[in-house]
Amino acid sequence: MLLRSFCLVSALLWAVHAAEGQTKHPLTQTYAFRNTPEWLVLRMDAPSAVFVEKHEAASVLRRWRRANSGFLEELKQGNLERECIEEICDYEEAREVFEDDQQTRDFWKTYEKRDPCLVNPCFNNGTCIYMGASYECQCPEGYEGRYCQTVFEDSLGCLYQNGHCEHFCNSSGARRKCFCADGYQLADNGKKCVPKVAFPCGRVASPATGPNQTMQDQVRLVGASYCNHGDCPWQVLIKLNGSSHCGGVLVRPDWVITAAHCVHGKNLQQLVVVAGENNLDLKGDTEQTFDVNVVILHKNYNQATGDSDIALVRINASVFLSQYAVPVCLPTKDFAERELLPVRYHTVSGWGKRTTGGNAVASSGRPLSPVLRKMNVPIVQNSQCSQKAKFNFTDNMLCAGYLDGNQESCRGNDGSPLVTEYGSTSFLTGVVAWGRGCSHPGYYGVYTKVAMNSFLLIMNEQSEQTDSRVQG
């Protein structure tokens, strides 16, 4: 502020000096300075007119009158009404008003909790709606964005480029609206999703190469690559009686999704879930082990046909989130079908036959790696899979893999996730139901579709019931 004031004073002195030296043209002169506010226009008469009329003098500096207004208000101490009531101020502007750290902090604690709608932050006649800790701008027709600052031009709603939404798009109302997955909030443009927590769902914060890298470089698997520790942070291991049994995927800190056949008929006391696992033969300090409290099978699960082969597993405590343990994002049904399934490649991860007790690949006899691996696979039409696998696919199933059979999900990855990367966020598209071997041509991996439907909403109901019991 002081630097700006100094520049203004310097400009005034320069203008006066220039006017005093002007003798050849006694006509009125107007001086406008480049890169200065539009109100800074100096009007100078002939040098003999040292004193001018009041109405003429008023034209030297003209600005709307406001708190602490007057000649060069920038030279004065910051004014609370001008800086923080007529306008919304930041912490530094408040500090200029008080010029004292403690007084500024005391004021800021209260100011942060103010009703922002007292000074309407919405543009284009938007209506500010106060929501306690935050606010929302209700935009008039034709405008969007957090502050209604963007002209709405997309008449196709969500059909074209997902409505330009980074995550989810909803066009059920009069105009399309973007919203975000858990752990994110909309940016000011109303389209982009920015993290609001340290470890939001679907984001990988990959650490440096771990101690397993040397061993990983020496062993290569058919059609697969190793998933470096932290690159598949939503993958979990399900153990039965202390042995590796199935894969699973972390979708919330205390909820896991897996295949129904992995937990159907099992004693809960014999099941444990391990998050942060990477090498089955090494005990790492990133591993977190949990008992299982609840198992919920899909109500339409059919053991004979494999239809609706999906289950919810609630563990006895919340996973401590880190770069090695992060939930994957759950998609809405429309978003999964419209945006995720058309993506060319999807990623399936797991430990293969190491999660079914096998220790060798039948076709080659080579020892199986204990390290988590991942494979990129394309979605294949169910009709094509039915012809190859001689299996009747339902609408609840997905088929993914290759004709040569070299890169489809192996038997033993059961319950593990099929994940789709959309932009910079990963979403859960499917759960491994079964596969018929990595090295057998003509077979595909079969997955159960995953989307935010009534089955997954059970997690919310269970969590609310638990919270009410704790509060009671």
Please state whether beta strands 150-151 and 168-170 pair in parallel, antiparallel, or not at all (unpaired). Answer: unpaired
The dihedrals phi and psi of 292, each to the nearest 5 degrees, come to -105, 125
pLDDT of residue 75: 53
pLDDT of residue 242: 92
Asked whether the beta carbons of 434 and 446 are under 8 A apart, the reply is yes
Mean pLDDT of the chain: 76
Beta carbons within 8 Å of 368's beta carbon, 6+ residues apart? 352, 353, 354, 358, 359, 360, 361
Q: Among candidates 303, 242, 300, which has minimal Cα distance to 274?
A: 242
The dihedrals phi and psi of 73, each to the nearest 5 degrees, come to -60, -20
Alpha helix positions (H), 236-356? 260-263, 333-335
pLDDT tens digits, residue range 275-299?
A: 999 999 988 899 999 999 999 999 9
**What is the residue-wise DSSP string for 406-431?**
SSSPPTT-TT-EEEEEETTEEEEEEE
Distance CA 358, CA 365 (A): 11
Write out residues in the chain with pLDDT < 70, as ranges: 1-78, 80-83, 85-88, 112-114, 132-133, 152-156, 206-223, 353-368, 389, 403-412, 435-443, 452-453, 463-472
pLDDT of residue 220: 34
Tokens read off for 37: 């506010």
Where on the phi/psi map is residue 61: left (φ > 0), alpha (ψ -120 to 50), or beta? beta
Helices 101-111 and 91-98 cross at an angle (nearest 10°) of: 130
Beta carbons within 8 Å of 173's beta carbon, 6+ residues apart? none
Q: Which domains does the chain have, with CATH numbers?
A: 2-75 (no CATH), 80-111 (no CATH), 116-195 (2.10.25.10), 208-472 (2.40.10.10)
| Distance of alpha carbon 48 from the chain centroid | 68
Going from the C-alpha of 461 to that of each of 73, 327, 454, 457, 458, the distances in angstroms are: 58, 19, 11, 7, 5
Q: What percent of the chain has pLDDT over 70?
A: 64
Q: Among candidates 123, 124, 111, 122, which has minimal Cα distance to 85?
A: 111
- What is this structure's pTM? 0.64
Beta carbons within 8 Å of 254's beta carbon, 6+ residues apart? 314, 315, 317, 318, 319, 463
Distance CA 107, CA 95 (A): 10
pLDDT of residue 175: 77
pLDDT of residue 372: 94
* 3-state DSSP of 228-242: CCCCCCCEEEEEECC
Q: Among candidates 158, 194, 197, which has minimal Cα distance to 333?
A: 158
Tokens read off for 225: 């690559």
pLDDT of residue 217: 37
Distance CA 257, CA 312 (A): 5
